[in-house]
Structure 1
Amino acid sequence: MAFEAEERPDRPIAKFESMLKTDDVYFFDAEDFEDIIHHYLNNGKMSLAKKAIKIGLTQHPSTIELKLLEVEVHVFENNLELAESMLDSLQTIDSNNEEIYIQRANIFSKKDDHSTAIKLLEKALSLSEDAIDIHSLLGMEHLFMDNFEEAKKHFIQCVLFDEQDYASLYNIIYCFDFLEDYDGAIEFLNDYLEKNPYCEVAWHQLGKQYFAKKMYNEAINAFDFAIISDDTFVGAYFEKGKILERLKRYNEAIENYEFTIEIEDPSAFAYLRIGKCHEKLGNTELAKLNYYKTVHEDPLLDKGWLAITNFYMKQKDYLKAKEYITKAINIEEENLFYWEKNAYINEALGLIEEAEMAYQKMVDLGDCELKTWLLWSSLVLKKGDPHSAIQILQQALEFYPSNSDVLYKIAGAHMVLDQTIKAKEFLVKALKANTKKVAMFKLEFPQFKNNVWINNIILEFGNSSK
Structure 2
Amino acid sequence: MNENFEDREEVLATVRRFEDMVASNESVFFDLADFENIIDHYTTNTQYEKALQACEAAIAQYPFSTELLIDRSQVLAMKGEYGAASSQIEDVAHLDPDNPDVAVTRGIIATQKGEFAEAVAFFLQAVERTEDRDDIFFNLGLAYQSWQKFKSAAKYYKQSLRLNPDNEVAVQELLYCLEVSERLESNLEFFRRFTDEDPYSAVAWYNLGQAHFRAGQFDDAVRAFDYAILIDGEFYDAHGYLASTYVSLERYRAAISEFELSHPPGEPSPEALCNIGECHEKLAEWDLARRFYQRAVDLEPEMDEAWFGIGVIMQAQEKYFEAIHFFRKAVSLYAESVEYWLALAAAEYQIGNIVSAIEAYEKGTEVGPENKDGWLNWSILLYEQGNFDGAIDLMRNALEISPAEAELHYRLCAYLLAAGRYREAYACLEGALLLDFDKHRLLFEYFPELESQQALARLIDQYRK
TM-score, reference length from structure 1: 0.68
Match of 2:82, SS state, is: coil
Query: CA-to-partner distance for each residue in 1:302-354, whole Å, 9 max, x for gaps?
Result: 4434444443444xx32x14312323304534353233123323444455454
Matching of residues 242-261 of structure 1 within 5 Å: 242-247=244-249, 249-260=251-262
2-structure distance, mates of 1:460, 1:246: 42
**Partner AA of 1:202 in structure 2:** A
* Closer, same or farther: CA 183–312 of 1 in aligned 2, 3 Å: same
1:112, distance to aligned residue in structure 2 (A): 1.8
**Partner AA of 1:78 in structure 2:** Y
The 8 Å contact of residues 202 and 227 in structure 2, kept in 1 or not, is answered as yes
User: 1:46 maps to which residue?
Assistant: 55
Is 1:380 aligned with 2:382? yes
The 8 Å contact of residues 200 and 229 in structure 1, kept in 2 or not, is answered as yes
1-structure distance, mates of 2:239, 2:85: 50
1-structure distance, mates of 2:110, 2:463: 67
User: 2:202 maps to which residue?
Assistant: 200
* Closer, same or farther: CA 378–264 of 1 in aligned 2, 3 Å: same
Structure 2: any 5+ residue segments left out of the alignment?
A: 1-25, 41-50
Is 1:412 aligned with 2:431? no
* Closer, same or farther: CA 221–392 of 1 in aligned 2, 3 Å: closer
Match of 2:234, SS state, is: coil
2-structure distance, mates of 1:56, 1:461: 82
1-structure distance, mates of 2:447, 2:205: 59
**Partner AA of 1:234 in structure 2:** Y
**Partner AA of 1:411 in structure 2:** L
Is 1:328 aligned with 2:327? yes
1:207, distance to aligned residue in structure 2 (A): 1.7
Sequence identity percentage: 24
User: 2:23 maps to which residue?
Assistant: none
1:389, distance to aligned residue in structure 2 (A): 3.7
Query: CA-to-partner distance for each residue in 1:254-292, whole Å, 9 max, x for gaps?
Result: 222222355363234333443444455564543443344
Query: CA-to-partner distance for each residue in 1:172-230, whole Å, 9 max, x for gaps?
Result: 55554554544565433343234544433222222222334554444333223322333
Give the number of the structure with larger relative contact order, counting CA–CA contacts within 8 Å between residues 6 or more apart.
2
Is 1:83 aligned with 2:87? yes
Query: CA-to-partner distance for each residue in 1:105-139, whole Å, 9 max, x for gaps?
Result: 34433432221222233234334356555434333
Match of 2:419, SS state, is: helix
2-structure distance, mates of 1:66, 1:464: 73
User: 1:289 maps to which residue?
Assistant: 291
1-structure distance, mates of 2:305, 2:385: 32
The 8 Å contact of residues 68 and 100 in structure 1, kept in 2 or not, is answered as no
2-structure distance, mates of 1:293, 1:70: 39
User: 1:358 maps to which residue?
Assistant: 360
User: 1:433 maps to which residue?
Assistant: 431
**Partner AA of 2:82 in structure 1:** N
Query: CA-to-partner distance for each residue in 1:125-177, whole Å, 9 max, x for gaps?
Result: 33435655543433332333344444444444445445655555555555545
2-structure distance, mates of 1:329, 1:301: 13
The 8 Å contact of residues 278 and 286 in structure 1, kept in 2 or not, is answered as yes
* Closer, same or farther: CA 276–157 of 1 in aligned 2, 3 Å: closer
Stretch deviating more after TM superposition (144-153 or 34-43): 34-43
1-structure distance, mates of 2:34, 2:307: 50
Q: Report how many aligned residue pairs link the two structures.
A: 412
* Closer, same or farther: CA 112–193 of 1 in aligned 2, 3 Å: same
Structure 1: any 5+ residue segments left out of the alignment?
A: 1-20, 23-32, 58-64, 416-422
**Partner AA of 2:431 in structure 1:** A
* Closer, same or farther: CA 352–328 of 1 in aligned 2, 3 Å: closer
* Closer, same or farther: CA 396–413 of 1 in aligned 2, 3 Å: farther
Is 1:123 aligned with 2:132? no
2-structure distance, mates of 1:457, 1:176: 48
The 8 Å contact of residues 223 and 236 in structure 1, kept in 2 or not, is answered as yes
2-structure distance, mates of 1:173, 1:75: 28
* Closer, same or farther: CA 224–115 of 1 in aligned 2, 3 Å: same
Matching of residues 55-204 of structure 1 within 5 Å: 56=64, 72=73, 76=77, 77-79=81-83, 83=87, 86=90, 90=94, 98=100, 100-129=102-131, 133-162=135-164, 168=170, 171-182=173-184, 186-204=188-206
The 8 Å contact of residues 109 and 117 in structure 1, kept in 2 or not, is answered as yes
Stretch deviating more after TM superposition (423-432 or 243-252): 243-252
1-structure distance, mates of 2:75, 2:265: 43
* Closer, same or farther: CA 95–396 of 1 in aligned 2, 3 Å: closer
The 8 Å contact of residues 314 and 322 in structure 2, kept in 1 or not, is answered as no
Q: Match for 1:343 among 338, 345, 353?
A: 345
Match of 1:260, SS state, is: coil
* Closer, same or farther: CA 367–296 of 1 in aligned 2, 3 Å: farther
